[in-house]
Amino acid sequence: MADAKVTRLRLTRPCPICGKPSVQAFHPFCSARCADIDLNRWLSGAYAIPADAGEDKSSPEDDDERD
């Protein structure tokens, strides 16, 4: 069994923060530092999806005032 070849479950990809090869322990990142940087970006709102300002949904109360 010592001669058995180990199959990796995850492919090695570049770290999304710095571009270095990812490490299995911190996948998909290369280190705990890059994982923490990514977490900080999520928590600070840097990865927020912008809302479409063109669609202004009015409430039913606003429609009553216009009539």
**Is position 53 within any domain?**
no
Sign, Cα dihedral of 56, 59, 61, 63? positive
* Higher pLDDT among residues 58 and 53, named by residue: 53
CATH number of the structural domain spanning residue 36: 3.30.50.10
Give me the residues paired with residue 21 across strands.
14
For the stretch 27-57, pLDDT in tens is 999 999 999 999 999 999 998 888 887 665 6
Structural domain boundaries enclosing 30: 11-45
**Is position 57 within any domain?**
no
- Supply the pLDDT for residue 24: 87
Q: What are phi and psi of 21, to 5 degrees?
A: -60, 140
Burial tier of 30 (Cβ tally within 10 Å: 0-12, 13-18, 19+): buried
